[in-house]
Amino acid sequence: MNVRRSLAFVVALLVAVPLAAQQTPAQKAVEDAEFLKGAYLPGNGVQYPVLLRDSKPKYTSEAMREKLQGTVEVQAVVGVDGRVERARIIQSLDKALGLDDAALAAAKAWLYQPGTKDGQPVPVVVSLMLEFRLH
């Protein structure tokens, strides 16, 4: 009977932990508002920033050993100086082997001609797709 009870506890724990880690819609809305604060979305007179220089993400040795490939989607805010002010992962490829962190580091190294609104530079939100491919 103890084995069954222990097994039931482990199963309940395995189900409960991922559910607890999920954000509620309200939490996500607050996080989104904080991230986007002061930045403009392209459209309605807001022009996209123009990419001047990108940086390729670097594979971690652990991810290479696992032959992990795919794409990380990053959302970034390009500031009035053309540099990435902040970035976050929208679609993860890997949290354990360092590829998400490598994608963020690469995205923060990108340089743009700033986005504009009514001809003036403004912070603009962009989406980036960073690929990890083994050749």
The letter for the amino acid at 132 is F
Residue whose tokens read 């976050």: 88
**Is 1 part of any domain?**
no
For the chain, what is the domain count? Answer: 1
**Is 58 part of any domain?**
yes
**Is 34 part of any domain?**
yes
**Is 33 part of any domain?**
yes
User: Based on C-alpha coordinates, what's the Rg of the chain?
Assistant: 20
**Is 37 part of any domain?**
yes
**Is 121 part of any domain?**
yes
For residue range 28-63, what is the model confidence (pLDDT) as tens digits?
888 888 998 999 999 999 999 999 999 999 999 999
pTM exceeds 0.85, yes or no: no
Give the Cα separation of 93 and 135 in Å (integer): 18
pLDDT at 86: 96
**Is 15 part of any domain?**
no
Q: Are 60 and 99 in contact (CB under 8 A)?
A: yes
For residue range 65-122, what is the model confidence (pLDDT) as tens digits?
999 999 999 999 999 999 999 999 999 998 899 999 999 999 999 999 999 999 999 9
> What CATH number is given to the structural domain containing 64?
3.30.2420.10
84: three-class secondary structure by DSSP: strand
- Domain span at residue 87 reads 23-132
Q: Are 80 and 129 in contact (CB under 8 A)?
A: no
Give the Cα separation of 133 and 69 in Å (integer): 5
Q: Are 55 and 109 in contact (CB under 8 A)?
A: yes
**Is 92 part of any domain?**
yes
Report DSSP state, residue 56: P
